[in-house]
Amino acid sequence: MPLSYSSTVVLQTRLPAMRRLLLWMVLLLTCSRPLHASSWNELPLLFGQGGNRQQITLQTRQLDVERVEIFSPLYGVDQNPTAGHWQVNPTVPSGITVQPKAKQGGFHWIQARQERGSSVIVASTVHYFSEPAPSPRTMLQQPKAELEIIPMPLPREFARYRAGEEWSFLLRFRQQPLTNAIVHFHSEQEIQKRLSSDGNGMVRIRFPEKFSLPESHNGAPSAKPTSGRHDRLPLIRFALLAEHVADGREYQTTFSQSYAPDPYFDKSLASGAGFALLGMLCATPLLRRPKPVPARP
Amino acid sequence: MNSPFWNLGRLRRTVQILLLLLTVYGGLLVGPYLADKLSTAFPSLSCIYDQQNSAYCVLRPLQHQLNHRVGESIARLGEVTLEAFRPLLFTFLSFFAFFIVLNKAFCGWVCPLGTVQEMLYRLGRRLGLVAHALVPPRLYQLRAGKWLLLFLLVFLLPLLAGLGMIPGIAGDPYCQICPARLITTLLTASTEEMAVSTQGGLAFAFAAIRNLLFGFTLVAALTVRQPFCRICPMLALHAIFRRFSLLQLVKTPHDNCGHCSLCTRACPMDIPEISGKDPQRAFSEDCTLCGRCAEFCPNDQVISLRFGPMTLFASSKHYFSHRSRTEKPDGTPRLCTEREKPGNQPP
């Protein structure tokens, strides 16, 4: 529809002001990041890409990593602040390779850090190396970054996060629990949840029941079952994201891991109960009292 | 042990129940991580699949290390080093650190599966069900079963899986079929180990066998003492090391031996050798050091439980007369009215 004379005049007279407004809007959009990433692909992530009991290869995404730090279960156990803590080269194109030191196994906390101006982004994950090690409890309690999402607890060595299960995480800033703060759950299947920390900084997350087999897509490939596991379960990556502003700086942190389907995935409880009943039936002849043998005349 | 309330049987039952609680739910006490556990090479069936346990059964790391360390190391030709055997050595050492103290008492006093089977047998006695004792030659045939399971499922198949000769799911075949996996997880109100794979293949077969064994054990235990223990590879593993522990069953032959056979009737494993004249054979490969033979031996100092030079418990005429007032050697409780009847006095 052609513009009328009056509307053309209005446009011509107000154009500089509108242009300025538009320019401001564009500037605002480009300079300020959204409060949280709106999709899985926008999250700053550190994720394992494969490994074995001796090493793991990690990749980062949406991060210009300055340093990658590793914290072994020895971190914080003795007074030496460098024990159980080291850095690796983050600029390897094939991925960041992390190996435990001196055959020290157990859960290792791995985090990548990016600082730009007033923005600090830390992406973290954990990996288990199967060698004897102290409990990761002390290492988890120790501060490793300003803003942290700490699993409370981590799944056991022979377990993992599973669909439908509820797990707790502690959100803390400079060692203090961050109460009533927002934490975003994202899965690689674009399931999102908005959660809030309670009065103790704890966030309780129920992993989504819905579990469809993951496919490799857009950057972070689907998690592969850890080498050596017999169950070969499909896994879905997830990340928790939190943000906090303090002293004029914006802190953002993610904790990423993967979760498995619920325990009954591809399984039948009814069939299992059926086999158990069959076993019981097989044993029932034992319950019969033997007939008394008649005495010989 | 001359208290009117306490006897060795009651003491053992109390210990069994406390240790059942500790092994099945103890994770709530000691913590969730591997490093928190009492041991990762525990000499009883404290199942790794129980998410709240306090210790891991030694059979799991044995299978795991034979599969992933030894087998895979041999498969990568030329990489067989002592390093591959280091975890296996540590597993045996951890196991032995416990075993040297309690010997096979881990079966008779600690094992949660053993405790559940004993409780079921007691229930069977209360319900008045028939009691079956296993006698030779069937008993001897069954004895071979535990050695076969130990060799095949704990040692051979995991090694073959590590070598890549059989599928990876057969890397821990004993854990796949162990009924303790079901019983202990069901005690934590988890039914997930009962679920059977719908994908067929070995996963289905293992789960089906596990459920069948579980169902069979549950009903059979009502009428046969310790049905699964007869073929348990843990008992076989214990049997290998039984002479290298401080706790021992010691027998001094007596003229009555071989006549009354009360000790064999009292034995939850129906061991006939215990009533024989040969003291060396009394501490049989099937013995679980429960001490019932000593409790029901009517002669002084014939059967005893010794810890090094110390006698912990020895049979005596006095103890036997008290003990047999409340229970028959086969485990059947004597009711008050029955006890008072003439002619029902202990033999």
pLDDT at B263 over 90: yes
Task: Look at residue B6 in the predicted model and tell me its pLDDT.
Answer: 83
Task: Look at residue A217 in the predicted model and tell me its pLDDT.
Answer: 37
Residue A153 near chain B (CB below 8 Å):
yes
pLDDT at B270 over 80: yes
Q: Which of these ranges, A49-63, A210-224, B84-98, B329-343, has the smallest mean pLDDT?
A: A210-224
Q: What's the rounded mean pLDDT across residues B327-331?
A: 92
pLDDT band at B200 (very low <50, low <70, confident <90, very high): confident
Q: Can you tell me the distance from the alpha carbon of A144 to that of A211, in angstroms, rounded to the nearest whole number?
A: 33
Cβ atoms of residues A131 and A105 within 8 Å:
yes
Nearest chain B Cα distance for residue A207, angstroms? 17
pLDDT at B347 over 80: no
Q: What's the rounded mean pLDDT across residues B293-317?
A: 95
Return residues 267-296 of B near A (CB < 8 Å). Answer: none
Write out pLDDT tens, residues A71-122.
999 998 877 777 889 998 887 777 888 888 877 889 999 999 999 999 999 9
Q: Which of these ranges, B100-104, B311-315, B338-342, has the smallest mean pLDDT?
A: B338-342
Task: Look at residue A212 in the predicted model and tell me its pLDDT.
Answer: 75
Task: Look at residue A21 in the predicted model and tell me its pLDDT.
Answer: 67
pLDDT over 90, % of chain B: 80
Nearest chain B Cα distance for residue A32, angstroms? 42
Q: What's the rounded mean pLDDT across residues A222-226?
A: 45
Task: Look at residue A286 in the predicted model and tell me its pLDDT.
Answer: 95
Q: How many CB atoms lie within 10 A of CB A262?
A: 15
Task: Look at residue A210 in the predicted model and tell me its pLDDT.
Answer: 82
Q: Outline where chain A has alpha helix (H).
A: 5-31, 137-141, 269-283
* Contact between B33 and A137 using a beta-carbon 8 Å cutoff: yes
In the Cβ-directed half-sphere of B154, how many Cα atoms lie within 13 Å? Answer: 22
Identify the closest residue of chain A to B175 by CA–CA distance. Answer: A230
Nearest chain A Cα distance for residue B1, angstroms? 35
Q: Can you tell me the distance from the alpha carbon of A231 to that of B203, in angstroms, rounded to the nearest whole number?
A: 9
User: What residues of chain A lie within 8 A of the CB of B216, using their CB?
Assistant: 279-280, 282-283
Task: Look at residue B262 in the predicted model and tell me its pLDDT.
Answer: 95
Average pLDDT, chain B: 91
CB nearest B51 (choices: A159, A268, A278): A159
Task: Look at residue A23 in the predicted model and tell me its pLDDT.
Answer: 56
Q: How many CB atoms lie within 10 A of CB A42?
A: 16
Task: Look at residue B3 in the predicted model and tell me its pLDDT.
Answer: 67
Write out pLDDT tens, residues B213-240.
999 999 999 999 999 999 999 999 999 9
Residue B115 near chain A (CB below 8 Å):
no
Residue B81 near chain A (CB below 8 Å):
no
User: What residues of chain B lie within 8 A of the CB of A288, using their CB?
Assistant: 130
Six-digit token string for A240:
């928790």
Write out pLDDT tens, residues B112-138.
999 999 999 999 999 999 999 999 999
For residue B118, what is the enclosing H or E element? Answer: helix B112-126
Task: Look at residue B84 in the predicted model and tell me its pLDDT.
Answer: 81
Residue B90 near chain A (CB below 8 Å):
yes
Which contacts of A31-35 are long-range, i.e. CB under 8 A and separated by 24 or more positions?
A33/A119, A33/A250, A35/A243
Task: Look at residue B337 in the predicted model and tell me its pLDDT.
Answer: 52
Q: How many CB pairs under 8 A join A and B?
A: 124
Which residue from B42, B342, B298 is spatially nearest to B184, judged by alpha carbons? B42
Task: Look at residue A220 in the predicted model and tell me its pLDDT.
Answer: 43
pLDDT at A134 over 80: yes
DSSP for residue A145: S
Query: Which of B194, B210, B226 should we substitute to test contact with A (largest number of A Cβ atoms within 10 Å)?
Result: B194
User: What residues of chain A lie within 8 A of the CB of B129, using their CB?
Assistant: 287
**Most confident stretch, A6-15, A25-34, A215-224, B232-241:** B232-241
* Contact between A279 and B213 using a beta-carbon 8 Å cutoff: yes
Write out pLDDT tens, residues B150-178.
999 999 999 999 999 999 889 999 999 99
Task: Look at residue A193 in the predicted model and tell me its pLDDT.
Answer: 92
CA A229 to each of CA A53, A165, A266, B200: distance values in angstroms, whole numbers, following the listed order: 11, 21, 17, 19
pLDDT band at B61 (very low <50, low <70, confident <90, very high): very high
User: What residues of chain B lie within 8 A of the CB of A280, using their CB?
Assistant: 215-216, 218-219
For residue B250, what is the enclosing H or E element? Answer: strand B247-251
Please provide the DSSP assignment of B309-332 as one string: TEEEEE--HHHHHHHHHHB-TTSP
Nearest chain A Cα distance for residue B222, angstroms? 8
Kindly report the backbone phi and psi dihedral angles of residue B328, in degrees, each rounded to the nearest multiple of 5, phi listed first: -80, 160
Question: Which is higher by pLDDT, A156 or B205?
Answer: B205
Strands A236-246 and B247-251: unpaired
Cα pseudo-dihedral B273, B276, B280, B285, rounded to 10: 10
pLDDT at B246 over 80: yes
Return residues 117-146 of A near B (CB < 8 Å). Answer: 132-137
A90 preceded by cis ω (within 30°)? no
Residue B50 near chain A (CB below 8 Å):
no
Q: Can you tell me the distance from the alpha carbon of A98 to that of A111, in angstroms, rounded to the nearest whole number?
A: 11
Residue A285 near chain B (CB below 8 Å):
no
pLDDT at A3 over 70: no
For residue A46, what is the enclosing H or E element? Answer: strand A45-51
Question: Which is higher by pLDDT, B30 or A221?
Answer: B30
pLDDT at A296 over 70: no
Residue A281 near chain B (CB below 8 Å):
yes
**Crossing angle between the packed helical segments B179-187 and B201-220, to the nearest 10 degrees:** 70
Identify the closest residue of chain B to A231 by CA–CA distance. Answer: B169
CB nearest A278 (choices: B191, B198, B215): B215
CB nearest B192 (choices: A135, A264, A288): A264
pLDDT band at B336 (very low <50, low <70, confident <90, very high): low
Residue B168 near chain A (CB below 8 Å):
yes
Computed from CA positions of residues A135, A141, A142, A143, in that sequence, does the dihedral angle turn out positive or negative? positive
Write out pLDDT tens, residues A30-70.
444 444 567 888 889 998 887 777 788 988 888 888 889 99
Task: Look at residue B210 in the predicted model and tell me its pLDDT.
Answer: 97
Q: Which of these ranges, A92-101, B25-34, B52-61, has the smallest mean pLDDT?
A: A92-101
pLDDT over 70, % of chain A: 80
Identify the closest residue of chain B to A137 by CA–CA distance. Answer: B33
Question: Which is higher by pLDDT, A231 or B19?
Answer: B19
Identify the closest residue of chain B to A291 by CA–CA distance. Answer: B130
Question: Which is higher by pLDDT, A20 or A167?
Answer: A167
Task: Look at residue B199 in the predicted model and tell me its pLDDT.
Answer: 83
Return residues 12-41 of B near A (CB < 8 Å). Answer: 31-36
Question: Which is higher by pLDDT, A177 or A12?
Answer: A177
Q: How many CB atoms lie within 10 A of CB A94?
A: 8
pLDDT over 90, % of chain A: 49
* Contact between A275 and B207 using a beta-carbon 8 Å cutoff: yes
> Strand (E) positions, B77-126?
none
pLDDT band at B4 (very low <50, low <70, confident <90, very high): low
Nearest chain B Cα distance for residue A234, angstroms? 14
CA A138 to each of CA A104, A141, B254: distance values in angstroms, whole numbers, following the listed order: 15, 5, 60
Q: How many CB atoms lie within 10 A of CB A6?
A: 8
